[in-house]
Amino acid sequence: MSSRRFPGKVLAPFKGKPLITHVVERVSQALPRVPVTVLTSIETSDDPLFAYLVSQNIDVFRGALDNVFERFSMCARGRDCKWLLRIFADSPLVDPHVLKELASRVDEDWDIITTVFPRTFPRGTNGELIRTSSFLGIDAHTLTEHEREHVTSIFYNHPEKFRILNIDSGDPKLAELNLCVDTIEDLRRLEAGE
């Protein structure tokens, strides 16, 4: 909710529903048996998001605003899950087919299954599936400030330490498309179908 470029964007109306609703619905469509939890901060600016999610019976976990790595770790420790699926809340067009493809590889021996190393899908359609045991095995004291905020960057900054599978779209030019909502102009552009 405290986005500098577009405050409150995750509750902004997009095609008649809050942005976050589209994200949750698309994840649920792709992986109907997988419980969805939205992670947000304990800051008062995120109270409206928390209230909305609770009113919609969507599971929510709250943690530190600036230490997303800690927030993910605390949430993972409180749940019995082998994998964590990371989706950005500003991606109302996240692709269920991409999420299904990621999930189809969980029986293989990877630390992270991703679509961004390198990115060959449009921004806003991606996902990252992280093995919980690999994530919790990372020593948080060794992380940079950037790695604490961008929780999967530790994997990409040190690919020699992790088993990374990248799912490729087959068309690297798709990576030039932006289907994320970073600004109000992005929201309007996506609403218009541009």
Could you tell me the domains of the chain? Answer: 9-191 (3.90.550.10)
Taking 80 as the threshold, does the pLDDT of residue 194 lie above it?
no
| Strand, coil or helix: 36 | coil
pLDDT in tens, 84-109: 999 999 999 999 999 999 999 999 99
pLDDT in tens, 128-178: 999 999 999 999 999 999 999 999 999 999 999 999 999 999 999 999 999
The candidate with the shortest Cα–Cα distance to 180, out of 63, 111, 87, is 87
Q: Would you place residue 43 in the very low, low, confident or very high pLDDT band (cuts 50, 70, 90)?
A: very high
User: Which tokens is 151 given?
Assistant: 């929780």
Taking 90 as the threshold, does the pLDDT of residue 188 lie above it?
yes
C-alpha–C-alpha distance, residues 181 and 25, integer Å: 17
Taking 80 as the threshold, does the pLDDT of residue 190 lie above it?
yes
